[in-house]
Structure 1
Amino acid sequence: MSAAIQAAIEPVRTDWLAQVDNTADEIGAHAAEHDAHESFVSDTFQKLKAEGFFKALVPEEFGGGGAGVADICQVVRRLGAQCGSTALAFSMHSHLVATAAWRWRHQNAPTDGLLKRVAAENLVLVSSGGSDWLRSEGTATPCEGGFRINARKVFSSGCPAGDLLMTSAVHDDPEAGPTVLHFAVPFTAPGVTVLDTWHVMGMRGTGSHDVLLRDVFVPAASIAGRRPQGKWHLLFHTISMIAFPIIYSAYMGVADGARATALEIGRRRGFDTGLPARVGAMENAHAMAGLALDAMVRMAGGAMPGPETTSRVMTARTLAGRGAIETVERAMEVVGGASFYRDLGLERAFRDVQGARFHPLRADEQALFTGRVALGLDVDG
């Protein structure tokens, strides 16, 4: 078969990194303004949506872009170098879609309906999982036809542009005990209110406000999953494997941007006997973060979820976060006192990258989990 005929019958694959390169500088131009005014990155979200990024991870057979996790990690990383808030908020939508696609492909999970909706309606999904994690927050009270949900969901990144809140609440099941129910709630549903709470140190443009759910009705048929409260479940091993390479690509991108700024200034600087060593220390930190992130991306592409994979992913998450934070700190040392000036962008990068500390599993929790796995102990013990 000739190359021309083969090209004619095979679908054209989108080069997502090249596509984001065409718009990254424009997105970066608005980053400082959003940071200064604590305003949601609505303009960048609109641009990414118009270019198909929000449905990029949906399989092609469902009308999506067919992108892989590795593709989107590159996109998020490139965005992070320009605007950490855009990268992080976009990563929260992306990991939900990527997890749904992986579960459909590998576990025959009934997530095809959600994936088709994301593609057809160009939906923005919002996660409350980082704040809920294994225990979840809020109550699910049985009522005729379903449940009434009362909860306050914090750190709901991207909610000013959100269509569906992917969340959970706890049902006190008389037989099974406290049971976490997973479901989606439209932001237009009665009882859903976005509270103006996101006034913070860094990642100010993510719009990670609290979402209040007051007597929100969720039909029984809309309950997508049930699990024991506070226990590790296959769903969370899957989320850990897929979500964290995408999320930490945002922080790696912030580190990339800080490093690039420091190198540009360092190369222009006159002779300084201490400069090469300071740059070398920055490079070491950047390499640690990059190697850890690469390991996470490989696991998302080829591992299977379970305690051992979660342990490796979470170890890499700790190292990637630590390396990204140190890279920005070292970049400031390379630049010196000029790094205090906001116009340079390093001050914002320093504040934004601190968020890498706070996603689950935090470093102390990760060390405990990894230690239990290494010792052959029950991770729920």
Structure 2
Amino acid sequence: MSIQEARAATEQYLPGLIAELKHQGLMQLEHAEPAQLCQLFRRSNAAGLLIPQQYGGLGASPRDTINVLRAVGSLCPSLAVMMTMHHHTIATIVQLGGIIPAAEDLLRSIANNQLLLASAFAEGKPGSPIFNSSLKASAVDGGFVLRGTKKPCTMSHDMDVIVAGVACTDTGGVDHQGFAVIFAEGANITREPFWKTPILRATDSNALIFNDVFVPDEMVLLAEGANAEEIEASAQEASISGLCWFQLMVGASYLGAASALVELLVCKRGVQDTHLAQLAIELEGAHQALLGTAGTLEQRQEADAGLYSQALCSRFSVQAAIERASNLAVELLGGMSFIESEQVSYLLAASRAIGFHPISRTAAAPTLADFLRNTGSTVDAPEPAHV
């Protein structure tokens, strides 16, 4: 199984992490305090996984990152979700390195000090685009003041840096979208409880209230002024790249949870080969879909709308495979396993959370429909058959 290859890749980049996760056990980790998982995140030197080696990071490729997240997701889904939020944000910052003056120094600091990043982009609402923001930025001397709420926000109490989507209204009443990098220590940010379900509670996904939080100019990127078009194009490119990474990472993390369910079944006696074959098709087909799109992202270096559509197709294909595989695995494990083992019901519920991450299927529909139309328009229509 490629889950074993995924764990081998994880051992290569993050030595000892797999052994520690196995030693502690899935349910102990999922019931742990979020601070414990954050400590494990830092201790494994995983904060710099995607950061290029020139900035002190490990320089993992998109394909290797997919493997790591699937492996971690099979042993601790909450940690995989934390890593997804951190690493897709890193991917966006890497793309912004040439246009945010402080980005390169930030990447070095993350890699050297194992700083953890929270992603403050999309709200958890059906149909919400990922970069829509409820944070408003107002210009002041030397920078901007941020007001608003982000919920949910993973690692809400233990992250070190927040990368947020912001909106700033100019004197003419025109809104400008952008990014802001906020260091959590000393910032006037209030945390409020938000996550009520026990599933994935260890991710510490709660509400952040920004109370006139000051951010210096060099930590903000807004598409305004004389270079507005150039900045907007660069920010859009970085956004699309981050979105591609996010869809692939989400797919890999939750595929890991489904893989853990199937592993429980593989250990059970008497399971028919036909059922195991079907599960192999679902899991390995999904994994290969993620690796294929990740390979394309790696080759191109830059993402465009077409690649984003491919990433969305891969994510929703994987999402469907997760549903089918987890349903079949739980059915074959049987009612007594469901009743007696908290792990079975937990993994089933956790695997379903992939459907709540942006972008929603409804919001993605116009993009994917246009992608199919444009792809189809390049193919000559077949000649009518003559009978």
Query: 1:17 maps to which residue?
Result: 11
Counterparts of 1:66 and 1:75 in 2: how far apart (Å)? 13
Aligned counterpart for 1:158 among listed residues 136, 155, 158: 155
Matched-pair contact (CA < 8 Å) for 1:299–1:313: no
Corresponding residue for residue 3 of structure 1? none
Contact in 2 for aligned 1:159/1:209 (Cα 8 Å): yes
Q: CA offsets per residue over residues 86-121 of structure 1, 9 Å max, x none?
A: 1111121112223333554xx776531221111222
**CA 100–139 in structure 1, closer or farther in 2 if over 3 Å, else same:** closer
Does residue 252 (structure 1) correspond to residue 250 (structure 2)? The answer is no
Distance change >3 Å, CA 287–CA 206, structure 1 → 2: same
DSSP 3-state at the match of 1:53: coil
| TM-score relative to the length of structure 2 | 0.82
Q: Secondary structure at the match of 2:21?
A: helix
* Corresponding residue pairs, total: 353
Residue of structure 1 in register with 2:176 after alignment: 179
Report if the CA contact (8 A) 1:58-1:101 is conserved.
yes
The 1:364/1:15 distance shift into structure 2, 3 A limit, reads closer
Post-superposition offset of 1:344? 5.5
Cα distance in 1, alignment partners of residues 95 and 63 from structure 2: 13
Q: How many angstroms apart in 1 are the aligned matches of 2:46 and 2:175?
A: 38
Q: Are residues 95 and 56 of structure 1, via their aligned partners in 2, closer, same or farther at CA, if it must alter by over 3 Å? A: same
Match of residue 370, structure 2, among 342, 347, 372: 372
What does residue range 122-141 of structure 1 map to in structure 2 within 5 Å? 122-131=114-123, 133-141=130-138
What is the match of residue 80 of structure 2?
87
Q: 2:21 aligns with which of 24, 27, 35?
A: 27
Q: Verify: 1:292 aligned to 2:295, yes or no.
A: no
Q: Is the 8 A contact 1:81 1:253 kept in 2?
A: yes
In the TM superposition, residue 179 of structure 1 has moved relative to its aligned partner by 1.3
Distance apart, 1:342 and its partner CA: 5.9
Which of 349, 352, 355 does residue 354 from structure 1 map onto?
352
Going from structure 1 to structure 2, the CA distance change for 1:102 and 1:342 (only over 3 Å counts) comes to farther
Q: CA deviation at 1:79?
A: 0.8
Change (3 A) 1:336 1:20: farther
Contact 1:130 1:359 in 2 (8 A): no
Counterpart in the other structure of 1:239: 242
| Aligned residues with identical type, % of pairs | 18
Residue 208 of structure 2 corresponds to residue 211 of structure 1: yes
The aligned amino acid for 1:77 is R
Show the counterpart of 2:113. 121
CA contact (8 A) 2:237 2:303 kept: yes
C-alpha contact (below 8 Å) 2:146/2:211 kept by paired residues: yes
Matched, 1:315 2:313: yes
After superposition, give the CA deviation of every residue in 1:356-379 in whole Å (9 maximum; x if it has no partner): 1122222232232111233349xx
CA distance 1:18–1:234, shift in 2 (3 Å): closer
Q: Counterpart in 2 of 1:57? A: 50
1:285 Cα deviation (Å)?
A: 2.5
Q: Helix, strand or coil: the match of 2:267?
A: helix
Name the CA shift for 1:338/1:307 in 2 (closer, same or farther; >3 Å): same
Cα distance between partner residues in 1 of 2:304 and 2:263: 37
Q: TM-score, with normalisation over the residues of structure 1?
A: 0.83
> For 1:36 and 1:50, how far apart are their aligned partners in 2?
19
Alpha-carbon contact 2:244-2:303 (below 8 Å) kept = yes
Q: 3-state SS of the aligned residue for 2:205?
A: coil
Q: Distance in 2 between matches of 1:147 and 1:139?
A: 10
Residue ranges of structure 2 left out of the alignment (5+ in a row): 1-7, 124-128, 376-387
Q: Distance in 1 between matches of 2:214 and 2:105?
A: 20
Aligned partner of residue 291 in structure 1, secondary structure? helix
Aligned residue identity for 2:86: H
Deviations 1:117-159 (A, max 9, x none): 1122221111012437232112212233322211111121122
Q: Which residue of 1 aligns with 2:379?
A: none
- 2: CA distance, partners of 1:16 / 1:108: 32
Structure 1's consecutive aligned runs of 4 or more residues displaced over 6 angstroms after TM superposition are: none
Question: Partners in 2 of 1:296 and 1:201 — Cα distance?
Answer: 33
What is the deviation of 1:180? 1.7
- What root-mean-square deviation, in Å, do the aligned CA atoms of Structure 1 and Structure 2 show? 2.8
